[in-house]
Each structure stands twice: as structure tokens, then as C-alpha cells.
Amino acid sequence: MKYVGMQTQISRNNIISIILLLLFPVIMLGIVWLFLALLNYFGHGYYDQYGNVVHVLNAAVVNAYFVKALPWVVAGVAVWFLIAYLSNASMVRHATGARPLSRKDNPRVYNIVENLCMTCNMDMPQINVVDDPQLNAFASGIDKKSYTVTLTTGIMQLLDDDELSGVIGHELTHIRNHDTRLLITSIIFVGILATITSLVVNMMYNMFWFGGGIGRRRDSDDDGKGNGLSMIVILLVALVCCSVGYFFTIITRFAISRKREYMADAGGAELSGNPMALASALRKISSDPGLQGVKREDVAQLFIIHPKSMSNGVMSFMNSMFATHPDTEKRIHILEQF
């Protein structure tokens, strides 16, 4: 693996974050324009000489409505993003069931984090704990006020001091490299798209069963056609939103390079001064990974080892193709050669 310095990694993550910030509004506005275009296309038509309905897209009308909707869409997305960005810490805590840990609660863990922070001259992050007998850990946050290292009760109990130092050093390196800021940004973006998609799908479902004219008495064929066209528009919008959301998720997974985990492993080994201890910790975690109850896939990207990456067969192959984490055995092998 080609060596990449920490400052280079930080610069790359900052550039990717900026690209995501610029790309997301473009995608959102594209969805709005497509919605207006589909509404215009299917909502207006005429019968040709053979009695067939011919639909025509009036781009000028679509653009006019798009210009009117533009400030509302931008303002709505900006407010939504700002709220999610500022509340990211509570979002992650809610998704994982984490709670704060103080020095009084666990002096051993607190002192390990504090000593490692002093070693690399960084501010002390918040320490959270998840009541889970299995093993896992992750870092999160976007700034000094929200930077957090979260550990399961299992990992604190089953790893010795050297192994735990390697794991915590790994997570502190994620914070130092601004990996967590990049991940939180992608989580917010994907979350907004997922919510919009869910709303559209629910609209389609409710219209089909309760408000779409199914089972109702229709006074004319035109009413039936209008209801049918409305269903087509909503269906198309739902498909577009789902496709864009899935595509954007895949793009963010590839944008969040797997090299960040190798970099964090190297940083954890350097901070703890014991690469073999981190390798041993990864081996223990991979044999019994915790946080399997976390339902949000975007949050699971934060974990030091993703539980789903431990699956076998076809799912293992699919996870390896789109995984944000490299193979654990490869990480252990590199650490053993450190």
C-alpha cells in the first residue's frame, strides 16, 4: 500500500467533504426539476388523428416553475442540513444507545484516552459507552465540541490495556484525520435522501389504497385517465428518488476510501506504540463484533469493524464489493508487518 501522510489524508478528506457539499444540492435540484418535468409531461397532452394521447414537455413552463421553487428548495435543504449537522451527536447516540462515560465511571478507560490525547497533543474528546457484551468501537463528531469515542462494555472488559490503547488510538486518528467529519456529512446527506424517498413511497401507497381513485366511482373516462396519470407521476418520482438515493449511497461509500481505515490503524499503532496489540484487538473484535442491533447502515460505517462484513457466502461477496472497510485479515497482516 502506498504511504499517505496524515496531512495528505486530511486534505483529501476536506476536498471530498467540499465535493459532497456541492454535489448534494445539485442532486436535490435535479430531482425537483425531474418532478416538475414529469408532472408537466404527463399532465398535458392531446389526441392525435388516430385517437392516441400524445404527451409534450413544455420546457419553458417547467423552467419557470423550477425558478419559483428554487429558493424554497434551497432554503428547506439548508435548514434541514443545518439542524442535522448540529444535532449529529444526539443522532448517533440515539442510533446506538450510547451514554456518556466519566473518569469516575471507569478511571482505566478515561486515563487511557487522556494519555493518548496528551501523546498526540489533541483535545480530549467525549467518551461514550454502549451496553453491549460484544466488542466494537467508533469515533464520531464534526468539531471539538462533538468529537466522541464510543466503546462497548464488552470491548472495555475483554481487551487488555495495550489492546484497548491500540483501538482508542485508531479512533483518535479518525478524529485527527477529519474522517468523522466526512462520515457525518455523508450520513446526513444519505439520511435526507432516504427520508424523501420514504415520504414519496408512502404517498404512492396511500394514494393507491385510499386516495388514488381505486375502487371509487368514476364519472368519466377523463377522471380515470387523470387518476392513472397521477399514479404514474408519483411512481416515476418514487423510482427516481430511490435510484438517486441508492446511487448517492454507493458514491459516498466509494468516496470514503478504505485507506482511511489503514491510516487509522497506522495511527493507532503509532500512538499506542504496539502494532501487535492492535492486531490482536482486531482479531478479538472480528470474532465477536458488537453493535449488531444498530439498524442504521450509515451509522454502522463508523464502526472499527462492521458486523455485516463477517457474513458468509453470497452476502460476504456483496459486502466486500461495497464495503467501506477493508478486509480485517489484511489489516491484521499489515499491522503485524508494521
Residues with catalytic function: 171
Which residues are paired to 47 by β-bridges? 53
CA 51 to CA 260: how far, in whole Å? 61
Locus of grid cell 444526539: 90
| Amino acid sitting at position 306 | H
Answer yes or no: are the C-beta atoms of 183 and 302 closer than 8 Å.
yes
Q: How far is CA 125 from CA 55, 140, 146, in A?
A: 59, 10, 8
Return the axis-axis angle of helices 328-336 and 259-272, rounded to nearest 10°. 40
CA 325, distance to chain mean position in Å, is 13
**Rounded CA separation 165/116 (Å):** 8
Question: Can you tell me the distance from the alpha carbon of 331 to that of 58, in angstroms, rounded to the nearest whole number?
Answer: 56
Element (DSSP H or E) covering residue 140: strand 137-140
Cα separations (Å) of 146 from 20, 118, 153?
Answer: 21, 19, 21
Residue 328: how many other CB atoms lie within 10 Å = 20
| Residue in 304, 328, 334 with CA at minimum distance from that of residue 140 | 304
